[in-house]
Structure 1
Amino acid sequence: MSSGVGGPAGSAGGDRPARAGRKSSTTTPAHRDKLRRGGVTALQIGAVAALYYASGKLGLFQQLVRGQVTPLWPPTGIALAGLLLLGPRIWPGIALGAFLINRSLGPSVPAVLAITTGNTLAPLCSYALLHRVAFRTHINRLRDALALVFLGGFTGMLISATVGSSTLRLAHALPADGFWPTWWVWWTGDAMGVLVVTPVLLVLRSAHWPKHAPPSRWREATLLVAATIGVGFLENAPPPLAFLAFPLLTWAAFRFQLAAAAPCALAVSTSAILAATRGTGPFAGHTLVTNMIALQAFNGAAAMTALLLAAVITERNEAQRKIEETCRRLAEMTARIAPESGGPPVLPRDRGDKEGNGGPTRRP
């Protein structure tokens, strides 16, 4: 009896490790997948932080106010593009990059933390607003371009400008009469980062090498690049010729849509900023406030022209393509249901018609 009882008990005990082993083996792939996703997220956060810091250092070469407020702040464009493409999980990268770049500028640690909070919340707010209106990253509709301008750029960046300027004022890093000039440059600089840098990054994500483009298309693209470089030099020339950028932006938007309009807007805005910081071209001989207003008006007009016009042209082309596709399908359906003779289909005679031969009649 003891051996009979011990046998089943022993076999049952031997089955437990086997079942446990099978259970652990089934959970291993899920655990590995979770670790892989965590590693990818960590790499994305690190990449966003590095790009934020590097672009911030680059943007500081254009500083106009207190050595840390610039007319174009590329990190905001990188932050919003990262949120739109990778999701809100990469926000620690934005916070880390903002902390590192602001810590290197010298304010106290509490001031750095406050400015970092504003710099992190601003793109998150812009992302939330764009997500609420079903923004498409391809910016192939007019509503997408308008949302990026007014919600992503103008509205969301109010947070960073207000928090940053207030922090500098409370830290006695700004005089009382310097608050509003700093706030204005901070807000417009962050907004210009969204309007100018974010579209370029969104375009790069879906960019591909054209395989069947005719040679004339390549010649036109080369001419557009040369014209962009030429306009950049003219913006720094003594005569006020910055307005020549707008025919260039119109050309890029009509012929190449956002793929060319966004880089052209970035190029002409960068050239204008260089002219303003050097005090050359149309910005020579004016006060700081006058140059700030003129520069931000020019950059805003250039960015909005490129974005809105490219979106309108893309939307029109898409509508035309759908109309042509619908006409083609209707033609195919008509060809299938028409008689083999090619004439129109025979319809029955109405009751009000006079009875002649009693047969069906053709209607024109």
Structure 2
Amino acid sequence: MRLAARQLSPAAHWCLIVLCVTVCYFAAGQIGIQWAIVRDQISPLWPAAGVALAVPMLLGPRFWPGIFLGALLTNIALGPSLVTVLVISSGNTIGPLLAYAVLRRLGFRNQLDRLPDAVLLVAVGAAGGTAVSAVLGTGVLVLDGALSPGDFWATALVWWTGDAMGVLTITPLLLLAPRFRLPAEVPLARWGEAVALAFCGLGTAILATATASKLFLVFPVLVWAALRFRQAGALLCSLCACSSTVFAAVHGIGPYGSYELATRMLHVQAFDATVALTALTLSTIVLQRDRATAEITDAWRQITEMVDLIAPRQSLRSAMTPQREPDTDDELAG
């Protein structure tokens, strides 16, 4: 397989990656459509937005046609017209690319091992770039007559927050995926703890969709996941909780059934944003603490090695240096 990949020409290699990006975006878009609440294409959780931002970060901006083609295939069956679909697909491409350019300009790192990186991902990636897609897409739907002008802000808000939730839940996981490695030897107790966390995470996510009083059960599990399993555990628990609450809100289940659609979406997206921000920020802080501890440990080891290296030489030098005999005049003076 590697030999065949090496024999591909640069153009064929580019086309192959663009095709893979198109398929990934389309698959993520189909998942988001299952939760659509406005025109069957605007969802409170749009995973494709997270894929779109991760593509230039991981592969580079030159593979942007994959994002555009994936968005085009996702929206072309939903209409309302080809021109509108082209504009929406363009917005879904321009927003992530603008966010990527700003993030790189501000020194963002894909490792997400610093708190400023997490803040930049939230402020620029989740809030900034997605606003471009939401405003452009909603505006063209209003101009095409698919939406009434009075529905502009409500629709744009759902679109924007849905894309932002996709970035907060999907993009960090995709950035983490290339660096994820299972340890060579994992103790049985560690596997047991991971299974227990999975059951607790799934259980609290389901309970959070039952009644409003059980929503806060998610946060202790997020703390446990961040402290013990770092970003991978915290982000997976966050994705599970957010997906469950969005499903409940879309179908009017549990604490969301008694509200109108706009109020229902406002409540669930405020909760999901809090969950996603808590998972991302806390796990990043824990990772940053681990890195600082490792650097201190390494510095202490180097200092200890230097002291061990210097001490024998200093002892040998002291032994080889003759002691000065006191002068006779000094003895008489004493």
- Give me the TM-score of the superposition, normalised by structure 2: 0.90
In 2, the alpha carbon distance for the partners of 1:181 and 1:318 equals 43
Deviation at 1:33, TM superposition (A): 7.3
Match of 2:10 among 34, 37, 41: 37
The AA in structure 2 aligned to 1:38 is A
Confirm or deny that 1:294 pairs with 2:277: no
Match of residue 310 from structure 2:
337
SS in 1 for 2:213: coil
1:216-261 deviation per Cα after TM superposition (whole angstroms, max 9, x unaligned): 2111111110111101221222453121111111111111111111
Deviation at 1:342, TM superposition (A): 7.3
Unaligned runs of 5+ in 2: 328-334
Larger Cα Rg: Structure 1 or Structure 2?
Answer: 1
Match of residue 20 from structure 1:
none
Match of residue 88 from structure 2:
115
Match of 2:198 among 217, 225, 246: 225
Confirm or deny that 1:53 pairs with 2:17: no
Confirm or deny that 1:213 pairs with 2:186: yes
Confirm or deny that 1:81 pairs with 2:54: yes
**CA distance 1:244–1:131, shift in 2 (3 Å):** same
Answer whether contact 1:73 1:190 (CA < 8 A) is retained: yes
In 1, the alpha carbon distance for the partners of 2:135 and 2:249 equals 24
Deviation at 1:201, TM superposition (A): 1.4
Confirm or deny that 1:70 pairs with 2:32: no
SS in 2 for 1:67: coil
1:308-327 alignment, distance < 5 Å: 308-327=281-300
In 2, the alpha carbon distance for the partners of 1:77 and 1:239 equals 28
User: Moved runs in structure 1, 4+ residues, more than 3 A?
Assistant: 32-35, 339-343, 355-358
- Give me the TM-score of the superposition, normalised by structure 1: 0.83
Deviation at 1:356, TM superposition (A): 11
The AA in structure 2 aligned to 1:166 is G
Q: State the aligned residue count.
A: 320
The AA in structure 2 aligned to 1:242 is L
Unaligned runs of 5+ in 1: 1-31, 347-354, 359-364
The AA in structure 2 aligned to 1:265 is S
Match of residue 331 from structure 2:
none
Match of 2:154 among 181, 189, 193: 181
In 1, the alpha carbon distance for the partners of 2:313 and 2:169 equals 59
% identical equivalent positions: 42
Answer whether contact 1:165 1:182 (CA < 8 A) is retained: yes
SS in 2 for 1:212: coil
1:1-364 alignment, distance < 5 Å: 36-238=9-211, 240-339=213-312
